[in-house]
Structure 1
Amino acid sequence: MVVEGEWEPEPQKRVPDIPLGAIPPIFSKLARIIPIIFVILILFSIMFGSIFVSVGAGEVGVKFNQFGGVEEDELGEGLHIVPPWVSVTKYSVRSETYTMSGIEGEGQVTGDDQIKALTVEGLTLGLDITVRYRLMSDEVSTVHQNLGTNYAEKIIRPTIRSSIREVVSTKTALQVYGEERQLVAGEMLTNIDQALGSDGIIVEEVLVRNVVLPTRVAEAIEAKLQADQEAQRMIFVKEKEQLEAERKIIEANGVANATIAEAHGEAEALRIINEQLAKNPDLINYKYIQMLQGQDIQTMLVPTDQGIILDASNS
């Protein structure tokens, strides 16, 4: 019964039932299979661990099969699905550094980890070294199988120490400490890279950050370096003075040549004047009178052989 003024909801429309026969068989099978697959995956994840592995940027995943050992194909960056019986160990293939230093807390080893090496003279040097390296992305499985995750301590550290001592043993203290330090670092880089290349490790740079010499040797080298610098300065001063002397000689020669040229010009001018005077003796009187023109002269004297005195007051 509907009371006047009350709102009556509209009757809901009935959605017609779709007969099961109208759904394609393949979709109905998938609708039953997919939930079963997810249930199985969840059970495997609970029993054996997650089957989804995410490899981050700058990393490579190494697969270890419980039934076959380490697999050669590595996993690149991104999300991967692996069987439950396969575990994945991730390695960084970015540039890493290994530092050995005498300053506590600066390197991988706590305390004084400075490398001590003997020079060709038998002197003991202390070296603070930093090596920049990275793993070859296609050789990470080999590193994992042969060295494991602690490869830096197992192979990089001893190789660095051995190679650096080998190079220093062929150099003098001055070569390692002085201007040839970069050349020595280049030889160290070559030695270490060759030693680690077969293990799947690339060495990118070797930095000789500090060289500690015995006190007396350091003082002697400093004195020698100062003497060399002073000798270089004196050579520079000598060359500068020689250049200045050459400049003055050139300048004097120029002045002399100019004076000679001027004298020749004057002599030639006098010769021409003498020739003209010999031809016309009165020319000198004309030049004399011409020189006096424009001057405030009351009386002008002319040579006595002219016999006259000219009064210039009314000129």
Structure 2
Amino acid sequence: MVVEGEWEPEPPKKVPEFPIGEIAPIIGKIGRGIVVIFVILIVFSILFGSIFVSVGAGEVGVKFNQFGGVEEDELGEGLHIVPPWVSVTKYSVRSETYTMSGVVNEGEVVGDDQIKALTTEGLTLGLDITVRYRLVPDSVSTVHQTLGTNYAEKIIRPTIRSSIREVVSSKTALQVYGEERELVAGEMLSNIAAALDSDGIIVEEVLVRNVVLPTKVAEAIEAKLQADQEAQRMIFVKQKEQLEAERKIIEANGIANSTIAQAYGEAEALRIINEQLAKNPDLINYKYIQMLQGQDIQTMLVPTDQGIILDASN
């Protein structure tokens, strides 16, 4: 019996029962949904091309949208999912080389691909050139849109040939062939790099691997180089001999100065001794006695005019 006004506790709420047997069907539905999604993706891949794109190390992927053209944002390394209407073209952004050489199968073009260039003297030189370059990752989309995958043949090759000829035209054959070759290569690098910079291509190095001269010119240059080397050797020998002569002069002067100093010292010593003897004639007898001390003397000759210098009683 409940008295009016008294507090009556609320009956406990019933927790809705969730049959354990219904969990398995729910998980099954989720699993079936995931499978359906993958099936749909596979069907799209078969009908429209793969939507999974893997970009390898040192590569960049350029996206081409069928409805909007080339997209500016590139795909970095790794696995990507792209819509079926987007195709991806991969470009290497690692250091690449382009070689033009007179040796068959050494360069990018089969056969003699050596660059022929005229010097200031009007001589024709043959040059084997290797250029090391790479694409700027953020500019690959522009390269793809303006030049395409064959960009090396379209822009790099003609730029190299034009720049090399321009530099050589301001040089002598000896400058290109001789000791200034590295300086000439540096100038070629600057010209090629400036020409390709706006195309999203960085030029890292230009190697002048071989320079072919006309036979007579090559012989004349070799003779001149040998003559220069011999002249440099003779200058070195002359300088060495001159230094040796100077060393001997210095050494002789040192010996002479030492001898003079010694002579002055001995003369000064004699002068002092003579002064002391003049003041005290018996000093010589004293020095003589000092000299005899410690010596085993059996016979001694004494000048008669000197008197007795030893006291026989002692």
d(CA) in 2 for partners of 1:264, 1:309: 33
Separation of aligned partners in 1, 2:252 and 2:56: 79
1:18–1:235 CA distance, 2 compared to 1 (3 A): same
Residues 8-66 of structure 1, C-alpha deviation per residue, up to 9 Å, x if partnerless?
xxxxxxxx77358x988xx8985665444333322222211111111111111111111
Match of 1:162 in 2: 162
What TM-score comes out, normalization by structure 1 length? 0.85
Secondary structure of the equivalent of 1:89? strand
Deviation at 1:160, TM superposition (A): 0.6
Residues 286 and 102 (structure 1 numbering): CA distance in 2 closer, same or farther, change over 3 Å? same
Is the 1:301–1:309 Cα contact (8 Å) retained in structure 2?
no
Give the AA of the match of 2:209: R
Give 1:96 shift: 0.6
1:252 maps to a residue whose letter is A
The amino acid across from 1:150 in the alignment is: N
**Corresponding position of 1:44:** 44
Query: Of residues 3, 17, 21 in structure 2, which corresponds to 1:18?
Result: 21
Return the TM-score normalized by structure 2. Answer: 0.85
Aligned-pair CA distance for 1:236: 1.4
1:243-289 Cα shifts (integer Å, max 9, x gaps): 21221222112111111111111111111221222222233344345
Matched residue SS, 2:104: coil
Q: Check the 8 A contact 2:51/2:81 in 1, yes or no.
A: yes
Conservation of the 8 A alpha-carbon contact between 1:125 and 1:211: yes
Partner in structure 1 of residue 182 of structure 2: 182
User: Identity of counterpart residues, as a percentage?
Assistant: 87
Distance in structure 1 (CA, Å) of the matches to 2:127 and 2:121 = 17
Moved more, 102-111 or 247-256: 247-256
Question: Match of 1:53, SS?
Answer: strand
Contact kept in structure 1, 2:132 and 2:206, CA below 8 Å: yes
The number of equivalent residue pairs is 294
Secondary structure (helix, strand or coil) at the match of 1:121 reads coil
Higher alpha-carbon deviation: 294-303 or 242-251: 294-303
What is the deviation of 1:80?
1.0
C-alpha distance in 2 between matches for 1:55 and 1:309: 118
Residue 62 of structure 2 corresponds to residue 59 of structure 1: no
Residue 99 of structure 1 deviates from its aligned partner by 0.5
Gap regions ≥5 residues in structure 2? 1-18
C-alpha distance in 2 between matches for 1:260 and 1:236:
36
| 3-state SS, counterpart of residue 300 of structure 1 | coil
Contact 1:100 / 1:128 at 8 angstroms: preserved in 2? yes
1:31 to 1:265, Cα distance in 2 relative to 1, 3 A: closer
2:37 & 2:289 partners in 1: Cα distance? 135
What is the DSSP-based 3-state SS (H/G/I as helix, E as strand, rest coil) of the residue aligned with 1:198?
helix
Q: Which residue is 1:144 aligned to?
A: 144
- C-alpha displacement at 1:307, in angstroms? 6.6
- Tell me, in whole angstroms, the C-alpha distance in 1 between the residues paired with 2:297 and 2:42: 134
Is the alpha carbon distance of 1:286 and 1:38 closer, same or farther for their aligned partners in structure 2, counting shifts above 3 Å? closer
Partner of 1:230: 230
Alignment of 1:261-280 (within 5 A): 261-280=261-280
In 2, the alpha carbon distance for the partners of 1:215 and 1:131 equals: 27
User: Any gaps of 5 or more consecutive residues in structure 1?
Assistant: 1-15
